[in-house]
Structure formats: structure tokens, C-alpha cells
Chain A
């Protein structure tokens, strides 16, 4: 399985500011995904990030609010822009298949816990 790290692990931010979350993988992966988990809720997919192309956003999520970068096959960032208290959530990245048979599995990072005051 892939080893995934996220930075920061947690943060407390003021409304109106932006936070960039980093996701680093220990091996090259095709697909990276960003999820949000609001307090007491399940995970919701924000967007899918493929290296070398624009991220694909799910309904209800827009690039201006959650810009994503995917500069190479091991790294991605998610920015939460112009934050409000409703953005307080755990943000998780996951990585998709490596293209090898039998590796059709997503592995998740530890998450970034964000509190917006």
C-alpha cells in the first residue's frame, strides 16, 4: 500500500483567510482525490486530480473556493480559500490505482483537521 502524508495535520484559522493543504505520496500514483468530512458526517468527494490536467470537481465544489494543484505524480495541494466557519472539517487526500493489476484500491492520508473561527 502507499504511504501518504498530509501537512498540516491540524490548523486553526481566521475567517476570510486561506489555507493550503499538502499531500505527499511515497510512490508515483495516477489519481489523487480530495475529500471533506464535516463534523459527524461521512466523507464527501471534492475533486479528482490527475497529473498534468485540470482537476475535476464534484457538484457543489468550485475551483475558486478549492483550487487544486497536481505538479507531479507524488504530490498535490488543496487550498481552502476565503474560509468561513462552515469550512471547519477534516480534509483528506487519497491516492488511486498505480496502473498495476490488482491495485484497484484507494488509500487515504491521515487527514487535516481545520477549525475556522
Chain B
């Protein structure tokens, strides 16, 4: 798996968009970018993933640069419940169900009232 680099912490005002950056300059062509979050020692929660196109779901948007060397997770209207550690992961999917996620240290996002 390609290594990812994230800022250790970020603050965001409640109601504002939270933009979490991730660098993955060594990502290879078949590696997906995944985002998970972990709220206070609960099991990690899947947020979104993408390969090269931007993706959006009910939780967030994922913007991947054209060269795929970096991405940004956007939480459009952050709430206090979004306070968590956010992990950006580059993972290879083999198509045979055999792939794994390598977690880094993540970004601790604090949403401020």
C-alpha cells in the first residue's frame, strides 16, 4: 500500500465545511483512496472511497487530484458528532476479495461549537 500523509489535527467551526487533506504521492494506478473515521475508540466507520473520479455520498465528498497524488475529504456541514480521527488510506483491491487497509495516524478533527 502507498503511504499517506495527513495533518495530525484540525479544527472546524460547527456548520462550516470541513476540508481534510491527504497526500499519497506514491499511489499506484490500481490503488483506491479510502476514508474512514473513528469516534472515540469505536470501530472505524467507512465514509467514502474512490479511484480517480470525484465521489459524493450522503456523508461526504471526495475530491481526488488529476495526478492522484492527493485528495480532500469534504464534510459539507460539520456537526459536533463529526469530531473524530479521520484516516486516509490507499489500498489495492485485487478483485478476488484480497486487499487490506493500512492505517496511518490520521487527522484528529475537532468541531468547535
**Interface, chain A (partner B; CB < 8 A):** 1, 4, 30-31, 33, 37, 42-45, 48, 50, 90, 92, 94, 96-97, 99, 104-111, 113
Chain B residue nearest in CB terms to A96: B97
Q: Contact at B49–A45, with CB atoms within 8 Å?
A: no
**Interface, chain B (partner A; CB < 8 A):** 32, 34, 36, 41-46, 49, 87, 93, 97-106
Residue in B34, B100, B105 whose beta carbon sits within 8 Å of that of A42 in the complex = B105
How many A-B residue pairs have C-beta atoms within 8 angstroms? Tell me.
Answer: 54
Interface core residue of A92, A105, A110 (most chain B CB under 10 Å) = A105
Bound form: Cα–Cα A44–B45 in Å: 16
Bound form: Cα–Cα A42–B103 in Å: 6
Known A-B contacts A48-B100, A105-B49, A106-B101; the reply to A42 vs B42 at CB < 8 A is no
Cβ–Cβ < 8 Å partners of A106 in chain B: 46, 101
